[in-house]
Amino acid sequence: MRHFIILLILITGLNTGFAQQKRSEIQTKSSLALRYYNAKDFEKAAPLLKEVHELTRNSTYFRYYINSLISLNEFAEAESELQRQIKKQKTPRPEYYVHLGQVYKSQDRNEEAQEMFQDAINNIPANQGSFLTTANSFLSWGEYGLARDVYLKGRKTLPDQSFNYELARSYMYLRDYTNMMEEYLNLLEEGEKHLARVQSSLSTAMRLDIDDGLRDQFREQVLKRIQAEPNVIGYNRLLIWFFLQEKKFSSALRQSIALDKRTGAEDAQIAQLGDLALRNKEYVQAQKAYEYLMDKGEETSFFPQAYARNIHAKYMEYTNDSEGTLEQGKALADEFENGLLYLKIGPATLNLVREYAHLLAFYLNDTEDAIAVLEKGEKVPQLKPEELGQLKTEMADIYVYADDPWEAMLIYSQVIDANKKNTLRDEVKLKKAKLGYYMGNFSWAKAQLDVLKASTSKLTANDAMELSMLIGNNLNLDTTAVPLTMFAKADLRFFQNRSEEALTILDGLAETYPYHTLVDNILYRKAKIEMDNNNYELAAEYLQTIVTDFSYDLLGDDALFLLAEIYNYHLGQEEKAKELYKQMLTSYPGSVFTEESREKYRELRKVYPDKEPEGKEGLFMRAIENSEF
């Protein structure tokens, strides 16, 4: 028995070693075969693909092998190989007929090709897997109409299988959006569990929809379904998703509220919608979402969150709208005060504390009350160093606003010392260096900024580099620092929310030194001021001048990104914004704004797709697989 066990172990070990060696051989050959195939070196790829297929019986390698033979015009060998495979099968394998049909089609033997394609459809065994495999074979060769026919036959042959999703995909490739939408809506009729899958597929289709035909079709068909089958909630959710894709927050909110009145379970969706509107600077719609949740009563779990975010949305609207009056600012201050009384000052409301203080100081010129509010926040027990540091940083900013730079410098230093292990340290170091710059201590400020170029925060490092270069470039060119001193004073006035004074200084600087190297910086600052004043068209003119005449300079990417933002959010020219975001990706690939530009370009591309050139069959599929960015 002992000898038998030892022998069994030896045999098992040998078999395991052989299996591992075989797997390694297959992996090596398949990797090499695919490398040759992808490089279109079909002469080297073909024999390897055939060998890997014989080892693995994987149908993908076989299809690649046949395609390699077609590419090499070795039609006779391809036909012979397929005929051999067909004869070997006891049960018909329709995909071999599909491949053979493609061989004939490649030789313009179209009648024989159609005969083979029909044979493939006629010989599909009556089970779901065979229909899916056959249709996928047609899809792999770009025969989308025949794939559709397979699914339609499958639906008749197997009454319990609808093939909705697969048919919709075929219709999408054929750009038959009416039937595609019908299949997706039929799928949703089965249950909401399919919603995410349908949304993902429709997102792809809409991104590739050139003339917006799908969007028009979508609205019409979904609304008809909602009216005809009001009990299918999935249709309503799909319509809300569609409105959000188009950033129609008002329509999305209206539908969400109507749905909530039916289900009573849409609080989370409405809260998310409010947050999304807020991120997209749709402050009014965000407030409507939060106020709806608040109107449901304090007993609802979303009430405190909605209350706090509603105040935040009003603050964002007021601080981003120069037309806000003093009376409106005071009313908002009252809302902050009442909100903090209800919600209590604690870790969860520190952002409201900071915003309240900022509103009091920078917009209502009440620095004393602003500092008192921050001091209350500082008394919250067991604050983390970063939380306390953010409150103290706001306090230091207020001292800068109040023209008390020395007190601000002291507080900035305290925050830096207390936050050596988090990102706040570098942010505050930058503020401290900027304060030195405002005060005219250019050499000291530049030394601090040069250290911050190595910050782990890309945004901080970028800002530090820009200000350091601004100082360096403009100190070395003049025997006097007067132009830079004037510019720094304008920057300080801008920080202090005294835009008119800043603009007066900049105009005087441009008039006195019309050929100074600060010209692009002056244009950029003036653009920011005009944005604060809601003069977006004038701001865009200043930025366009920088993009056109100073693209090589330090502010080139800043100006281009800001110009894209203006067109996207303020001038209602999203198509123009999309092109500018794309320009960011190609002209400034290393910019700190690259990732955000890529994200926004993708969002806009879904609504305004790049135009596809008309071309040969299969272009639509390749566009899906190789979509730019």
Q: Does 619 have pLDDT greater than 60?
A: no
Stated as kind and residue range, the H or E segment containing 78 is helix 75-88
Considering Cα of 7, then 8, then 11, then 17, what sign does the dihedral take?
Answer: negative
> How far is 629 from 621, CA to CA, in rounded Å?
16
Q: Does 421 have pLDDT greater than 50?
A: yes
Q: Does 625 have pLDDT greater than 70?
A: no
Comparing 157 with 23, the larger pLDDT belongs to: 157
Q: Per-residue confidence at 604, pLDDT binned at 50, 70, 90?
A: confident
User: 230 by DSSP, 3-state: which?
Assistant: coil
351-357: long-range contacts (C-beta < 8 A, 24 or more apart)?
A: 351/312, 352/308, 352/311, 352/312, 353/377, 353/391, 354/390, 354/391, 354/394, 355/311, 355/312, 355/315, 357/394, 357/395, 357/398
Across residues 316-327, what is the average pLDDT?
A: 86
Q: Which two tokens stand for residue 603?
A: 């969002």
Residue 478's pLDDT is 53
**Each residue of 53-62: pLDDT tens digit?**
888 878 888 8
> How far is 292 from 259, CA to CA, in rounded Å?
13
Q: Does 424 have pLDDT greater than 50?
A: yes
> How far is 489 from 487, CA to CA, in rounded Å?
5
**Each residue of 64-112: pLDDT tens digit?**
989 999 999 999 998 998 998 888 877 778 999 999 999 999 999 999 9
* 578 Cβ contact partners less than 8 Å away, ≥ 6 residues apart: 601, 604, 605, 608
202, HSE (Cβ side, Cα atoms, 13 Å): 32
Residue 612's pLDDT is 47
Taking a C-beta distance cutoff of 8 angstroms, is the pair 608, 601 a contact?
Answer: no
**Each residue of 9-24: pLDDT tens digit?**
655 555 554 456 667 7
In whole angstroms, how far apart are CA 11 and each of 3, 368, 451? 12, 87, 66
Kindly report the CA angle at 72 between 70 and 77, in degrees rounded to 5? 60
Q: Does 617 have pLDDT greater than 50?
A: no
Residue 21's pLDDT is 61
Q: Does 47 have pLDDT greater than 60?
A: yes
Across residues 210-225, what is the average pLDDT?
A: 85
User: 477 by DSSP, 3-state: which?
Assistant: coil
Taking a C-beta distance cutoff of 8 angstroms, is the pair 117, 97 a contact?
Answer: yes
Across residues 600-628, what is the average pLDDT?
A: 53
> How far is 482 from 377, CA to CA, in rounded Å?
41
Comparing 30 with 149, the larger pLDDT belongs to: 149
Taking a C-beta distance cutoff of 8 angstroms, is the pair 32, 48 a contact?
Answer: yes
Of the candidate ranges 195-204, 263-272, 477-486, the one whose mean pLDDT is the lowest = 477-486
Q: Which two tokens stand for residue 512?
A: 């006195």
Q: Does 549 have pLDDT greater than 50?
A: yes
Across residues 261-268, what is the average pLDDT?
A: 92
Residue 607's pLDDT is 62
Q: Classify residue 301 as exposed, middle or buried by CB count within 10 Å of its CB (0-12, 13-18, 19+).
A: exposed
| Residue (of 368, 411, 421, 361) closest to 391 by Cα position | 411
Across residues 562-577, what is the average pLDDT?
A: 93
Kindly report the CA angle at 501 between 496 and 507, in degrees rounded to 5? 130
Q: Which two tokens stand for residue 377?
A: 């926040």
Q: Which two tokens stand for residue 470?
A: 């601004």
Residue 614's pLDDT is 43
> How far is 516 from 522, CA to CA, in rounded Å?
10
Q: Which two tokens stand for residue 156?
A: 């008749």
> How far is 189 from 27, CA to CA, in rounded Å?
44
Domains delineated in the chain:
518-625 (1.25.40.10)
* 144 Cβ contact partners less than 8 Å away, ≥ 6 residues apart: 138, 170, 173, 174
* This prediction's pTM: 0.78
Amino acid at 307: Y
Residue 158's pLDDT is 95
**Each residue of 334-392: pLDDT tens digit?**
999 999 999 999 999 999 999 999 999 999 999 999 999 999 999 999 999 999 999 99
In whole angstroms, how far apart are CA 99 and each of 33, 61, 395, 453, 601? 20, 13, 74, 60, 40
Across residues 467-473, what is the average pLDDT?
A: 91
Q: Classify residue 572 as exposed, middle or buried by CB count within 10 Å of its CB (0-12, 13-18, 19+).
A: exposed
> How far is 557 from 91, CA to CA, in rounded Å?
64
Across residues 493-517, what is the average pLDDT?
A: 92
Question: Please, what is the average pLDDT of the chain?
Answer: 89
Q: Give the DSSP per-residue string, 7-42.
A: HHHHHHHHHHHHHHHHHHHHHHHHHHHHHHHHTT-H
> How far is 286 from 307, CA to CA, in rounded Å?
12
> How far is 94 from 131, CA to CA, in rounded Å?
9
Q: Which two tokens stand for residue 88?
A: 């070997």
Radius of gyration of the chain (CA): 33
Residue 213's pLDDT is 76
Q: Give the DSSP per-residue string, 570-583.
A: TS--HHHHHHHHHH
Residue 217's pLDDT is 86
